């Protein structure tokens, strides 16, 4: 928006430096000055005409003074209207600037919050990747140990003992202990396999960290069709 053109004697170095109170004072001084000069000029003319002995009709001081005062009053009224308009424009600028500043502050706050959320999500992703790598490493080690034991001739199977009813009790306890150890090993391998695979399809590897519950239980295919976490039943906001 553009401020209306003001008279030269009312303008400052910069439109932003306009002092409204100073302008009002200058207008009052100008009005008083113009009225005084008009009265003085009118009186001087009348005295000169009388002193010169001229009896020709001359302008009446009263009417001359009224005409000048009316003209000056009209100019000052116009200037005051322009000054009031300038005040209104300045007020509009201040209000608009305040609104823009508030909008910028709110936008900067949202940007900072988005950056913080992105950093948090990146940190969570790195943790999930690290946990996945550790689980895969453990699973690989357990799988190797399991394969080694399966190929070993010392792995006890009940079939290799014949009729277990004829075995002595100490031998049966020994077989039982060995079988329990083997079962614990197998349970560990199964657990590692299950912890790696999606709990819905049991086929694809887990790769999605659900928000906000942070559970790492779904593959990408299953996560795209789920609205709740299958582990805790909480609403899924994002993944």
pLDDT at 91: 92
Contact 182, 149 (CB under 8 A): yes
Placement of tokens 């790195």 in the chain: 126
228 beta partners = 235
> What are the start-end ranges of the H helices in the chain?
20-51, 61-151, 169-196, 220-223
**Could you read off the pLDDT of 111-169 as tens digits, one per residue?**
999 888 888 888 888 888 888 888 888 888 887 876 776 555 555 566 666 677 788 88
- Calculate the CA 144 to chain-centre distance: 51
Distance CA 214, CA 216 (A): 6
**Could you read off the pLDDT of 170-205 as tens digits, one per residue?**
988 888 898 888 888 888 888 888 888 998 998 888
pTM of the complete model: 0.31
CA–CA distances in Å: residue 237 to residues 39, 51, 194, 199, 219: 84, 102, 25, 19, 16
Contact 220, 206 (CB under 8 A): no
Tokens of 101: 């500043």
Contact 42, 128 (CB under 8 A): no
pLDDT at 178: 86
**Could you read off the pLDDT of 196-230 as tens digits, one per residue?**
899 899 888 899 889 888 888 999 889 988 899 99
Residue 52 has pLDDT above 60, yes or no: no
Contact 213, 221 (CB under 8 A): no
- Percent pLDDT > 90 in the chain is 16
> What are the start-end ranges of the H helices in 197-232?
220-223
CA–CA distances in Å: residue 111 to residues 60, 97, 223, 238, 239: 76, 21, 28, 19, 21
């Amino acid at each position: 928006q553009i401020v209306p053109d003001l008279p030269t004697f009312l303008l400052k170095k910069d439109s932003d430096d306009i002092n409204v109170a100073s302008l009002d004072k200058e207008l009052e001084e100008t009005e008083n000055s113009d009225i005084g000069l008009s009265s003085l000029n009118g009186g001087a003319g009348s005295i000169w005409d009388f002193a010169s002995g001229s009896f020709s009709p001359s302008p009446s001081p009263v009417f001359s003074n009224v005409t000048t005062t009316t003209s000056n009053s009209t100019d000052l009224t116009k200037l005051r209207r322009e000054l009031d308009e300038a005040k209104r424009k300045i007020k509009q600028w201040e209000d608009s600037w305040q609104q823009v500043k508030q909008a910028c502050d709110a936008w900067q706050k949202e940007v900072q919050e988005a950056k913080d959320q992105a950093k948090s999500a990146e940190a969570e992703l790195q943790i999930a990747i690290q946990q996945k790598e550790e689980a895969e490493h453990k699973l690989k080690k357990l799988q190797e140990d399991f394969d080694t034991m399966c190929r070993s001739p010392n792995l006890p199977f009940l079939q290799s003992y014949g009729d277990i009813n004829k075995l002595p009790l100490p031998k049966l306890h020994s077989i039982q202990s060995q079988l329990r150890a083997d079962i614990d090993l197998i349970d560990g391998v199964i657990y590692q396999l299950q912890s790696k695979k999606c709990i819905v399809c049991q086929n694809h590897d887990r790769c999605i960290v659900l928000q906000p519950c942070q559970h790492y239980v779904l593959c990408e295919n299953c996560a795209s069709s789920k609205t709740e976490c299958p582990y805790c039943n909480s609403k899924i906001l994002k993944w």
